């Protein structure tokens, strides 16, 4: 049956009245039983966080930095265990992807340790020469973290680590399908001797425990990473609180006629097939200038056959594992089917591979003749599909990107730096890569959707998350009174 995963509340591992099954996406086997938290459990976690936060915030920034380094050291000592759990629970290939995610998880806590000591204020002038004004950065209080299943270590850490470093306490609800990963990370936090209640883990259904920590007046901020539909619900329930929302995208990747096609093809492999396409920055629209579209497609299909190996996540030869859950597999299947019905052509893949041991395996897929009205062009697929559309020029590419409701990240390939820069400055996305794929980003840089798009609010990434995870306090001192 596997292990039993409890909740971590107030520094204690806590049972629940009910449980739900955790299954391996690569085999379908039950690998554990997970505590199914209730609203009352979430409320107890919030109370524990509220009780612990003042003394945590009262520590010096250097004390909190040392605590973050301890977390990083514990994770480093458990690399193999964490990576193997990730492959079992989420489905990522152990050598090709899972070990890299654990390494990045360590980097998040090391970075938070450094950023903890950078909560700098300013000393603006007063209109009164006898007064002094201090502007201080202070923690918000209790931060709710609601995290997804596609990167079950690093996605929560990009909010959780800086929130803790800046003096907040945290109540964390992970995606149910990767609850075992969440428990492993919580064990590392426990082993690092963080004060009881500073971090609390509540497992269970998002509409119950996630909704409670978003709406409950005991939390002052909500950090959410996940789908647009859920993010909108969370934002409505958290009205009046500070919000840090990282939501969906469709990663337009533009290949212009002067691009290095081999470089663009290699980047497209990562853009479309990293984590089996389950990424908010996945290349979900491949826009190729008409004169090179056929050549690009042929090269991409050849490289997929050579480079992508789908199979058992624990096999060292595997480069792509299964999809994580049935809803995303069904959506991928539906998007491909609808595109073909509307005239798209399958160049390779296009179907599930249940013979590999689970119905969640899906073949790496390349489509061409994709047009704007197809679901796969308009929505976020979240599966291993490269949908190619031929375009006339960069003007059409910009029009397509601007017509999308998303605004997270775009990429363009061209040998003309000025051409690439013009594209980057014209498109309304929060991040643009020139001659690099859509799944390239660096964790210390500001990442998030453009204002007015469906891709989110605020920025994660190193010290840039400080704007949403702390606030300014104004202190005025009258020198005449001393």
| Structural domain for 305, as ranges | 252-443
Point out the catalytic residue in the list 47, 158, 246, 436: 246
Cβ atoms of 151 and 32 closer than 8 Å: no
Residue 195: inside a domain: yes
> 10 Å Cβ neighbour count for 60?
10
Q: Give catalytic status of residue 333 as yes or no.
A: no
Residue 393: inside a domain: yes
Residue 235: inside a domain: yes
Point out the catalytic residue in the list 97, 280, 284, 436: 280
Q: Give catalytic status of residue 280 as yes or no.
A: yes
CB within 8 A of 360, min separation 6: which ones? 25, 26, 28, 91, 322, 323, 324, 325, 326, 329, 352
What CATH number does the domain containing 414 carry? 3.40.309.10
- Residue 446 and residue 118: Cα distance in Å, rounded? 16
The domain tally of the chain equals 2
Domain co-membership, 264 together with 401 = yes
* DSSP H/E element including 389: strand 385-391
Cβ atoms of 456 and 449 closer than 8 Å: yes
Alpha-helix residue ranges (DSSP H) falling in 192-316: 211-215, 228-237, 261-273, 290-307
Domain co-membership, 241 together with 308 = no
Domain co-membership, 243 together with 339 = no
Domain co-membership, 437 together with 310 = yes
CB-based burial of residue 453 (10 Å sphere; 0-12 exposed, 13-18 middle, 19+ buried)? buried
* DSSP H/E element including 84: helix 79-89
How does pLDDT run along the chain (482 residues), one tens digit per residue?
A: 589 999 999 999 999 999 999 999 999 999 999 999 999 999 999 999 999 999 999 999 999 999 999 999 999 999 999 999 999 999 999 999 999 999 999 999 999 999 999 999 999 999 999 999 999 999 999 999 999 999 999 999 999 999 999 999 999 999 999 999 999 999 999 999 999 999 999 999 999 999 999 999 999 999 999 999 999 999 999 999 999 999 989 999 999 999 999 999 999 999 999 999 999 999 999 999 999 999 999 999 999 999 999 999 999 999 999 999 999 999 999 999 999 999 999 999 999 999 999 999 999 999 999 999 999 999 999 999 999 999 999 999 999 999 999 999 999 999 999 999 999 999 999 999 999 999 999 999 999 999 889 999 999 998 899 999 999 999 999 998 76
Domain co-membership, 159 together with 294 = no
Residue 450: inside a domain: no
Regarding pTM above 0.85, the answer is yes
Domain co-membership, 379 together with 354 = yes
Domain co-membership, 339 together with 395 = yes
- Residue 99 and residue 102: Cα distance in Å, rounded? 5
Residue 448: inside a domain: no
Domain co-membership, 63 together with 156 = yes
Domain co-membership, 164 together with 70 = yes
Domain co-membership, 169 together with 49 = yes
Residue 380: inside a domain: yes
What CATH number does the domain containing 233 carry? 3.40.605.10
Residue 287: inside a domain: yes
Domain co-membership, 338 together with 433 = yes
Residue 482: inside a domain: no
Domain co-membership, 78 together with 185 = yes
Backbone phi and psi for residue 174, each to the nearest 5 degrees, phi listed first:
-90, 165
């Amino acid at each position: 049956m596997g292990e039993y995963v409890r909740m971590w509340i107030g520094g204690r591992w806590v049972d629940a009245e009910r449980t739900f099954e955790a299954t391996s996406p690569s085999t379908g086997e039950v690998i554990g039983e997970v505590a199914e938290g209730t609203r009352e459990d979430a409320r107890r976690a919030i109370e524990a966080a509220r009780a612990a936060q003042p003394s945590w915030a009262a520590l010096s920034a250097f004390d909190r930095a040392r605590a973050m380094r301890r977390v990083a050291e514990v994770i480093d000592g458990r690399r193999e265990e964490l990576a193997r759990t990730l492959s079992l629970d989420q489905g990522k290939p152990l050598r090709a992807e899972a070990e890299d995610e654990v390494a990045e998880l360590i980097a998040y806590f090391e970075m938070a340790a450094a950023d903890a000591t950078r909560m700098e204020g300013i000393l603006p002038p007063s209109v009164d020469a006898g007064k002094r004004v201090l502007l201080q950065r202070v923690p918000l209080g209790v931060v709710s973290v609601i995290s997804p299943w596609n990167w079950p270590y690093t996605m929560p850490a990009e909010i959780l680590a800086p929130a803790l470093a800046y003096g907040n306490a945290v109540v964390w609800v992970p995606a149910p399908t990767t609850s075992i990963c969440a428990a492993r990370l919580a064990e590392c936090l426990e082993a690092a001797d963080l004060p009881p209640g500073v971090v609390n883990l509540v497992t269970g259904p998002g509409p119950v425990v996630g909704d409670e920590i978003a709406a409950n007046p005991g939390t002052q901020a909500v950090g959410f990473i996940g789908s647009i539909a859920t993010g909108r619900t969370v934002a409505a329930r958290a009205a009046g609180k500070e919000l840090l929302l990282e939501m969906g995208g469709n990663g337009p990747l533009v290949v212009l006629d002067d691009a290095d096609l081999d470089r663009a093809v290699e980047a497209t492999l990562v853009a479309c097939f990293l984590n089996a396409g389950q990424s908010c920055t996945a290349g979900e629209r491949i826009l190729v200038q008409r004169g090179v579209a056929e050549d690009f497609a042929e090269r991409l299909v050849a490289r997929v056959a050579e480079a992508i190996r789908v199979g058992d996540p624990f096999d060292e030869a595997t480069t792509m594992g299964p999809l994580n859950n049935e809803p995303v597999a069904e959506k991928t299947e539906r998007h491909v089917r609808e595109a073909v019905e509307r005239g798209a052509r399958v160049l390779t893949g296009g179907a599930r591979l249940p013979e590999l041991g689970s119905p969640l395996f899906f073949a790496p897929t390349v489509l061409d003749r994709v047009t704007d009205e197809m679901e796969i062009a308009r929505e976020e697929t979240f599966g291993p599909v490269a949908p190619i559309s031929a375009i006339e020029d960069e003007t059409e590419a910009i029009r397509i990107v601007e017509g999308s409701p998303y605004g997270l990240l775009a990429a363009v390939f061209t040998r003309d730096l000025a051409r690439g820069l013009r594209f980057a400055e014209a498109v309304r996305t929060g991040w643009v890569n020139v001659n690099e794929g859509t799944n390239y980003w660096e964790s210390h840089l500001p990442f998030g959707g453009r204002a007015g798009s469906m891709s989110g609010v605020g920025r994660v990434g190193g010290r840039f998350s400080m704007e949403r995870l702390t606030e300014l306090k104004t202190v005025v001192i009258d020198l005449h009174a001393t």
